[in-house]
Amino acid sequence: MRRTLRRHRSSVVRSALLIMGHQACEALVPVAIGVAIDTAIVRESPGLLLLCLLGLAVLFGALTLCWRWAARYGYGAAIDEAHLLRTELARRLLDPLGTRLRRTRGELLSIASSDADLAAKAVNYVPGLWGAAAALAVSCAVLLTVDLRLGAVLIATSIAATLSLNALSPLLSRRSTTQQETLADASALATDLVSGLRALQGIGAQRSAADRYRAVSTGAADAGIRAGDAKALQSGATVLASGLVLVVSVAGASLLAARGDISIGALVAAVGAAQFISEPLTNVGSYLQLRAATRAGAVRVGGVLDSPPSRGANAGGAAPAPAGAALPLVFRNVSARPRSDGDPEGITLTVEPGEFVGVVAEEPTVELLRRLLDGDPPDGASGTLALGPTPVAGLGHAARRSLIHLEPHRPDLFTGTIRHNLTLGSDGDADLDRALAAANATEFVSAQPLGTDAPLRDRGLTLSGGQRQRLALARALHADPPVLVLHEPTTAVDSVTEEAIADGLAALRHRDRARTSVLFTTSPALLARTHRVVLIEDGRVAASGTHHELLRDSEPYRKRVLR
């Protein structure tokens, strides 16, 4: 929040000064009426009455203009800040160095929308509190002018009321934070359920998914009710405090007027000022509620913006990029936990240049190796990965990505044309047809009315899972990296299509070109086309050979791959 206020210092100060002017003018309205009574009505002077009415018109014009420009500066700054925060969040989440955050898409969407809007409202509540303080100060000054004792009582009562309201802020802040978190959880689950709606319908899990969402949504509703209870408590306390100040002020002023210590005009001014005080006190309560919600949003936004990168920060590349196609890829003693003397050897594996290697392993092991290849080793992992003599960890992000391309098991497609998704906006269409053919995607792409220029809607969710997988594989093949790493690229296609993809992949990468490929899979069709298969069990290489050799000699391998 401090950064937000510093970034919009000029607008915040202008808005605060103008709101203070608006509130001061409002506080002076009962004073002007009291003066009109004493100077014009009591004296029965039409000229003075006209002059007083003119003064009231000027006062109302001033407070109207102050409010208009204060709102323009304040709300304009809030809109600008919300846009800046969303831009920063997008830049942070799309940073090539990644982030260690483990949040779902729905949570991140909630943070980038509702939380960013809340955090931006810091530029609204600060001027509002200043304006309320100005209104209280002017009202107290008026009552001190009318009578010192009355003013002193009002000041003491106002301070006590403000402190009491502020004491409720921590409770409201905690409940607002919980409310935002549960709303984000519900939003994340809704996003996941909508994305996987076809799969849920396919396995008949709609009722289970609905029950799960109902439970999460009920939790979010309960958190909202608890936050609403806290807001209601503070609102009730605000009304009570305002009423108490009003009763004390009116009673004191009436007593003074009955004793003849003050005039009728002074009584009207005192009662009007006391009645007006309820507005800034109510505003104090409202702005304290806004501050609690703003702080909750700012904490969640800051958690994303300040998250450490998941990869090394040497984006420029501490080591020069080696010629990746002509160098081996070497894993040495890789383990998911720190190793000490006497521990068994970890995963040691060498993939020679131009080799097509299949890796069969448990999912945690696959994830460990993939994260090493992506420059994002898990906490506590040990061992090294090198491309020839160069440690992959020593490469900058750009150099690493130019040498090693990792295609995830669940790839993302983007709204746009098929061509844009395959080329990622580059001008190079060379070998696009060969990549589509190797991924067995030519037929369904050609069936589109516009071919590769056909639009993809809803991030490709209108396509089947197999079609999305084939487009993602074609994109990876079209990139033609020196080292290609694939993770179960054919789980959503039928067996005939899988055989065709296996032939196309082997032909494009290893018959016509000397490229290196690493394939994490248990698919017999794909493994049969590899040069070598490595079986990893219990954190070490258990067997190595061709697919047919391992089928013949390794019982654990047969259990893993035979379907």
- Under 8 Å CB-to-CB from 103, ≥6 apart: which residues? 111, 188, 304
Q: What residues pair up with 201 in beta bridges, in sequence order? A: none
Domains and CATH numbers, the chain: 2-305 (1.20.1560.10), 352-371+397-561 (3.40.50.300)
Phi/psi class of residue 335: alpha, beta or left (left: φ > 0; alpha: ψ in -120 to 50)?
Answer: beta
Q: Which of 386, 360, 411, 413 is nearest to 543 (CA)?
A: 360
Residue 199: predicted pLDDT: 67
Residue 169: predicted pLDDT: 67
Flag whether pLDDT at 499 surpasses 90. yes
Q: What pTM, to 2 d.p., does this model score?
A: 0.64
Most confident of 47-61, 76-90, 223-237, 294-308: 76-90
> Going along 361-403, which residue ranges are E strands?
382-387, 390-391
Nearest-angstrom CA–CA distance, 362 and 517 = 19
Residue 315: predicted pLDDT: 44
Contact 351, 328 (CB under 8 A): yes
pLDDT for 256-272, tens place per residue? Answer: 777 777 777 777 777 77
39-48 in b/e burial notation, b at 16+ Cβ within 10 A? ebeeeeeeeb
Nearest-angstrom CA–CA distance, 503 and 39 = 101
**What is the 8-class DSSP label of residue 320?**
P
The CA-based diameter of the chain, rounded to the nearest angstrom, is 117
Beta-carbon neighbour count of residue 225 at 10 Å?
13
78-115 in b/e burial notation, b at 16+ Cβ within 10 A? beebbeebbeebeebbeeebbbeeebeebbbbbbbebb
Torsion sign across C-alpha atoms 292, 297, 302, 307: positive
Residue 427: predicted pLDDT: 60
Residue 317: predicted pLDDT: 46
Contact 486, 518 (CB under 8 A): yes
Q: Which of 170, 274, 285 is nearest to 237 (CA)?
A: 285
Nearest-angstrom CA–CA distance, 505 and 484 = 11
What is the residue-wise DSSP string for 7-43?
A: HTHHHHHHHHHHHHHHHHHHHHHHHHHHHHIIIIITT
pLDDT (average), residues 486-513 = 90
- The 3 state secondary structure assigned to 420-480 is HHHHCCCCCCCCHHHHHHHCCCHHHHHCCCCHHHCEECHHHCCCCHHHHHHHHHHHHHHHC
* Through-space distance between the first and last CA atoms of the chain, rounded to whole angstroms: 56
Beta-carbon neighbour count of residue 67 at 10 Å?
18
Nearest-angstrom CA–CA distance, 101 and 269 = 58
Alpha-helix runs per DSSP H in 259-347: 264-305
pLDDT (average), residues 71-96 = 90
Strands 483-487 and 404-407: parallel
pLDDT (average), residues 140-146 = 78
Counting residues of the chain whose pLDDT is more than 90, the rounded percentage is: 26
Residue 542: predicted pLDDT: 93
pLDDT (average), residues 203-214 = 82
- Under 8 Å CB-to-CB from 521, ≥6 apart: which residues? 358, 359, 360, 486, 487, 488, 489, 490, 527
Calculate the dihedral angle through the C-alpha atoms of 488, 489, 493, 499, rounding to the nearest 10 degrees.
-90
When pLDDT is cut at 50, 70 and 90, the band that residue 316 belongs to is very low
Nearest-angstrom CA–CA distance, 84 and 419 = 31
Flag whether pLDDT at 529 surpasses 80. yes
Flag whether pLDDT at 460 surpasses 50. yes
